Amino acid sequence: MEFHLPTGVKALLVQALGVGILGAATGLAFSHAFFEDWGWIIGPVAWMVAATVTALVLRLPLPATLLGAILAGIPSAALTAAGLHWAGAVVAILLFAGWCAGVGGRRMTAESG
């Protein structure tokens, strides 16, 4: 499997920006108590919205990109459950960027072959 580092770096930046913007917007719009009750759904929805934007901006295949977002979200969920929410977000973004680098590498190989 080939990795396309520029795609991975761009995915990291776009996803981090998307997660940051959505996190700030929802943090300003809702109380902490709201997140205690509804964070389990708001977080994953925001994550998938950001991943969709990343796929569109980088012109990556949406199904493969969303699969990577789901897989990267699994360790993030475990860290969040352990009380390490933002550490989970960082780990997920790094894993997702690596996944996107692989998707980008496959795309580059397909286009050149």
- 46: containing domain: 5-112
- What tokens were used for 7? 């795609």
CA 81 vs. chain centroid, Å, equals 18
| Among candidate residues 38, 34, 4, the one with its CA nearest the CA of residue 112 | 4
Q: Is the pTM of this model over 0.85?
A: yes
| Among candidate residues 7, 82, 8, 85, the one with its CA nearest the CA of residue 47 | 85
Q: Stretch 20-49: mean pLDDT, rounded? A: 93
Q: Is 59 exposed, middle or buried (0-12, 13-18, 19+ CB in 10 A)?
A: exposed
Domain count of the chain?
1
| Among candidate residues 42, 93, 100, the one with its CA nearest the CA of residue 67 | 100
Q: What is the DSSP letter of 4?
A: -
pLDDT band at 73 (very low <50, low <70, confident <90, very high): very high
| Among candidate residues 91, 62, 64, 63, the one with its CA nearest the CA of residue 76 | 91
Is the pLDDT at 60 greater than 80? The verdict is yes
The pLDDT assigned to 108 comes to 63
